[in-house]
Structure 1
Amino acid sequence: MKKLRGKKRYFRNLWEEVNTCNLKLDNDSWFDFWHTHLDFFGVGENNLKIRREHIKAHVALYNRLLKQLEGFEKPYQTWICIHEQDPISDAVYVHTPNPNDNYFPHKIEELEWNCKLPNTFKDLIDLHKFDVAYYKSEYEEIYFIQSKEQGIRL
């Protein structure tokens, strides 16, 4: 991958996106696996420092959304997915009961809760605030990060 040009502007825009993201919450609000990817172009794929900055941004966005959901009356789930080999797929999710499908709450049976975080980002996750689970298939390895206090567990 080519060197990232305009790094300062790129990260200024990334943090602007994090700091201005607002859920549209009212009595009719619902989310069908709503999510957002902050490293949409895979900028952090070959650079650990840039990857860590994206993970920090995902955690900050997650905290922002949790704050917004504090007064939300409906049941919901929120989580962060950090893909071990595919930073483009890293995302923050919000899911509620919705008219598209009756699949709520989302459950993943194969999750390994209280797993050990990789050294690359274990210092970025506050284990007093968040539960962490690990999922491995033949195609991917994913860390699920979820609030201990808010929302329904995966």
Structure 2
Amino acid sequence: MKRVTSVSMVIALLFILVACAPKPALPRADGRDLYNYITGTAQYTGWKMWPGKQALYPGTEPHGMLLTTYVTDGAFSAINGKKGSISNGSIIVKENYMPDKTLAAVTVMYKVKGYDPANNDWFWLKYAPDGTINVQGKAQGCIDCHGQARNNDFIWTSPLK
């Protein structure tokens, strides 16, 4: 009985330590840092998918005919809760596929407080399947297109209100 109690206490202590472990620091507003964070430190493929969307849902240009979108917990909560905007520190990762289901690119929106107030503080990233960064930062093409959804925090996929 004493041994069972000791084992139970050790297991409980391990759960507490894991729960209290600090989360990894968010990356700087930098393409390589963000890429390393989402593909290494945070492994975006383990995140939740966009609420109401499954893998390989129909998309449109310029992103691709099929999309899979992953979001951090903060983004998921804002989207699902219709909070009106995505919270700072949130990341949205969209895998862009060709009709034959070949990954063509990955596009990322990262909300960084104070980064670009005129455009709701979004940092933009696009990279190829091999990790080559094609676009990063205050990407005018991204801003021009997503800016048409300014009243929805630059989000096209679904309403935030």
**Normalising by the residue count of structure 2, what TM-score does the alignment of the two structures yield?**
0.26
Which of the two has higher C-alpha Rg? 2
The structure that is helix-richer by fraction is 2
**Normalising by the residue count of structure 1, what TM-score does the alignment of the two structures yield?**
0.27
Structure number with the bigger relative contact order (C-alpha 8 A, sep ≥ 6) is 1
